C-alpha cells in the first residue's frame, strides 16, 4: 500500500515546463509517471532528500523537495493537499534521521541494521492461506507491532532444480519496484539457508477463484468492474515492460473493500518494453495459454490479453471457453475449436471476448486505449477506476483485516509450519540468491519508532 499518492504538477528538469504527473510515495521513494497506469518517468529517493518545504519562489500550493543534484518543485491541487504531502514526507525524513542517529550512537551501520533486522524469527506463523508448486503462503503476525502479513515461502532447492532462478529474481524485482493500486505490495524479502521469503500485504477478501467457485458465475456488471481494474493493472505492467503470463482467477485477490490485487509474479518476464519485443519460454496455466505459446512461436504482450479474454468468458459462464479435463484436447480446442456463446452473454460481451480471443496475435485487440473504448466498458470512468473511486459491486463479508473466512478451508486445515530441508546447497548455489534481501524502509522505520 502506498503511503501517499495523487496527481501533482511537476516542474521539468532541463526544460522548465510544468507537467501533470501521478506521484506515489512508497518504500522510501517518490515515483512519478504520466498517469497511474503508465510506466514510471523517474524516482526521487528520500535517502537523498535534505528537506521538504513550501516554496516561496514558485507557483501557488507548491513545495520543494531538495536533493544534492537538484530541487524538485511540485504543485498540489490545493493548500490542504500540499500540506499533506509535506507532512507525510517530513514525517518519513524525521523517522529516517532518528534511525540514523540511533544506529550511529550504537556504533552500527544503518543499512546493515535495516537488512539484518528482519528475519523469520520476527514473525509468528498463523495459518496456511495458499499453496502451489512454488511452495506455500501463510498468514503471519509480526511480533513487534502485531501487524498481519502474507508470507510466501519458496524452497531454494526446488527453484534450482526447476531452473527458475530468473523467474524468482524477476518476481522480487517486480514486487519491489512497481507501484500500482491493483498490484499486491511487498514489504520485506529475506532468506535462510534453504528458503526464500516474501512478506506481502495480507489481502483477505479471498481469491476471485474462491468466489467464482462459490457462485458459479458473476453478472455482467460485476465482471465489468473486475475487468476494468484488471485492464488498468495489465496496462501498467506492460508499460513497465512486464509480461504477466499467469492471469487467472487464483492470482486475483479481492481486498476487504472489494477491489482487486494482482498477485504471484513467479513466471512474469521483465524487459519487454517495446510492443515488438518477444520471448519464447513455454509457461503458464493450461486453460489460459494463448495459441502462439502452444505453437512454440515467439510471443509478446498479446498473450496476456488472450488470457484476459479467457478470464472474461469464465467469469460470465463459469468455465473457460475451450476447457477440457484432457489437456491435449484442451490445447487442440484453444488452437482450433470455434468460440461459442450461451444466451447470457450480451452482444457487447460477445464482441469484446471475440476480439480478445483472436488466434492471430497481430489481429488480436491489445492496445489498452482501444480496449478501454470498447462498448463493453461504456459506463466506466477510467480516471475514477484507477483511483479506486468506483463502487465495488461486491464487498467480501470479512469482520476485519485479519479475517480468514474468505480463504479456501482446504488450505486453512493445514498446520502453519516450516519444514527444514537438510540438503546442503554449495556456496556457488547460494550465490544465485545474493541481493535477495529487501526492506520497505518506511515500514521498518515505523517499527523502530515503537521500540
Four-residue CA torsion sign, 187, 255, 228, 130: positive
DSSP-derived letter for residue 38 is S
pLDDT by residue (tens digit) across 257-272?
A: 999 999 999 899 999 9
- The predicted pLDDT at position 348 comes to 97
- The predicted pLDDT at position 111 comes to 46
- The predicted pLDDT at position 275 comes to 86
User: Which range, 154-158, 165-169, 292-296, is most confident?
Assistant: 292-296
- The predicted pLDDT at position 108 comes to 52
Average pLDDT, the chain: 88
pLDDT by residue (tens digit) across 131-158?
A: 876 789 999 999 988 999 999 999 998 8
Clarify whether 221 is annotated catalytic: no
Say how many Å lie between the first and final Cα of the chain, rounded.
23
pLDDT by residue (tens digit) across 20-56?
A: 999 989 878 898 988 888 877 888 988 889 899 999 8
Beta strand ranges found along 70-165 (DSSP E): 71-75, 123-132, 135-142, 148-155
- The predicted pLDDT at position 350 comes to 98
pLDDT by residue (tens digit) across 418-442?
A: 877 767 788 888 888 887 877 665 5
- Please choose, from the candidates 282, 313, 309, 422, the residue with its C-alpha nearest in 3D space to the C-alpha of residue 365: 309
In the chain, domain spans:
4-108, 118-203+405-450, 208-386
CATH architecture of 118-203+405-450: 2-Layer Sandwich (3.30)
- The predicted pLDDT at position 371 comes to 97
For the cut 90, the answer to whether the pLDDT of residue 385 exceeds it is yes
Kindly tell me the burial class for residue 402, based on how many C-beta atoms sit within 10 Å of its own C-beta (0-12, 13-18, 19 or more). middle
For the cut 70, the answer to whether the pLDDT of residue 114 exceeds it is no
CATH (residue range 4-108): 2.30.29.30
For helices 347-356 and 302-317, give the axis angle rounded to 10 degrees.
150
For the cut 50, the answer to whether the pLDDT of residue 451 exceeds it is no
Q: Give mean pLDDT, residues 328-332.
A: 97
Whether 268 contacts 171, CB under 8 Å: yes
CA distances from 371 to 237, 356, 411 (A): 15, 9, 36
Beta strand ranges found along 81-191 (DSSP E): 123-132, 135-142, 148-155, 186-191
For the cut 50, the answer to whether the pLDDT of residue 112 exceeds it is no
pLDDT by residue (tens digit) across 226-247?
A: 999 999 999 999 998 999 999 9
Which residue of the set 246, 256, 264, 304 is catalytic?
A: 246
Rounded Cα distance between 8 and 73, Å, is: 10
CATH number of this structure's domain 208-386, picked from the four choices 3.90.1490.10, 3.40.1030.10, 2.60.120.920, 1.10.510.10: 1.10.510.10
Q: Does residue 51 sit in helix, strand or coil?
A: strand
Amino acid at each position: 500500500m502506498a503511503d501517499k499518492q495523487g496527481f501533482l504538477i511537476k516542474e521539468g528538469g532541463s526544460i522548465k515546463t510544468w507537467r501533470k504527473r501521478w506521484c506515489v510515495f512508497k518504500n522510501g521513494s517518490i515515483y512519478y509517471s504520466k498517469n497511474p497506469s503508465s510506466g514510471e518517468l523517474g524516482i526521487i529517493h528520500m535517502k537523498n532528500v535534505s528537506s521538504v518545504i513550501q516554496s516561496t519562489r514558485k507557483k501557488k500550493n507548491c513545495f520543494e523537495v531538495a536533493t544534492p543534484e537538484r530541487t524538485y518543485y511540485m504543485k498540489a491541487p490545493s493548500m490542504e493537499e500540499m500540506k499533506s504531502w509535506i507532512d507525510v514526507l517530513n514525517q518519513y525524513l524525521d523517522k529516517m534521521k532518528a534511525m540514523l542517529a540511533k544506529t550511529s550512537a550504537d556504533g552500527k551501520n544503518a543499512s546493515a541494521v535495516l537488512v539484518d533486522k528482519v528475519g523469520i524469527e520476527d514473525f509468528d506463523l498463523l495459518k496456511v492461506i495458499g499453496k502451489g508448486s512454488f511452495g506455500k503462503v501463510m498468514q503471519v503476525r509480526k511480533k513487534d507491532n502485531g501487524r498481519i502479513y502474507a508470507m510466501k515461502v519458496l524452497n531454494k532447492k526446488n527453484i534450482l532444480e526447476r531452473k527458475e532462478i530468473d523467474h524468482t529474481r524477476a518476481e522480487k524485482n517486480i514486487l519491489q519496484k512497481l507501484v500500482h493500486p491493483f498490484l499486491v505490495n511487498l514489504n520485506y524479502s529475506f532468506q535462510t539457508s534453504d528458503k526464500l521469503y516474501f512478506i506481502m500485504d495480507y489481502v483477505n477478501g479471498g481469491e476471485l477463484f474462491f468466489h467464482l467457485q462459490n457462485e458459479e458465475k458473476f453478472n455482467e456488471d460485476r465482471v465489468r468492474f473486475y475487468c476494468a481494474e484488471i485492464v488498468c493493472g495489465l496496462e501498467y505492467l506492460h508499460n513497465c515492460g512486464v509480461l504477466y503470463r499467469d492471469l487467472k482467477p487464483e492470482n486475483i485477490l479481492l481486498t476487504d473493500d472489494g477491489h482487486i490485487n494482482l498477485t504471484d509474479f513467479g513466471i512474469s518476464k521483465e524487459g519487454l518494453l517495446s510492443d515488438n519485443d518477444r520471448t519464447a519460454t513455454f509457461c503458464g496455466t493450461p486453460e489460459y495459454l494463448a495459441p502462439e505459446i502452444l505453437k512454440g512461436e515467439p510471443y509478446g504482450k498479446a498473450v496476456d490479453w488472450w488470457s484476459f479474454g479467457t478470464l472474461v468468458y469464465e467469469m460470465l459462464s463459469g468455465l473457460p471457453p475451450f476447457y477440457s479435463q484432457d489437456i491435449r484436447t484442451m490445447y487442440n480446442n484453444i488452437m482450433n475449436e470455434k468460440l461459442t456463446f450461451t444466451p447470457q452473454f450480451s452482444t457487447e460481451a460477445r464482441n469484446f471476448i471475440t476480439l480478445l480471443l483472436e488466434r492471430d496475435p497481430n489481429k488480436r485487440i491489445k492496445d489498452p486505449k482501444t480496449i478501454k473504448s470498447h462498448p463493453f466498458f461504456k459506463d466506466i470512468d477510467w480516471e475514477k477506476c484507477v483511483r479506486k473511486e468506483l463502487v465495488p459491486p461486491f464487498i467480501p463479508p470479512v469482520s476485519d483485516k485479519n479475517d480468514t473466512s474468505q480463504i479456501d478451508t482446504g488450505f486453512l486445515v493445514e498446520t502453519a509450519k516450516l519444514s527444514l530441508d537438510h540438503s546442503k546447497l554449495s556456496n556457488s548455489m547460494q550465490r544465485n540468491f545474493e541481493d535477495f534481501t529487501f526492506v520497505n524502509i518506511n515500514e521498518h522505520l515505523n517499527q523502530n519508532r515503537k521500540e
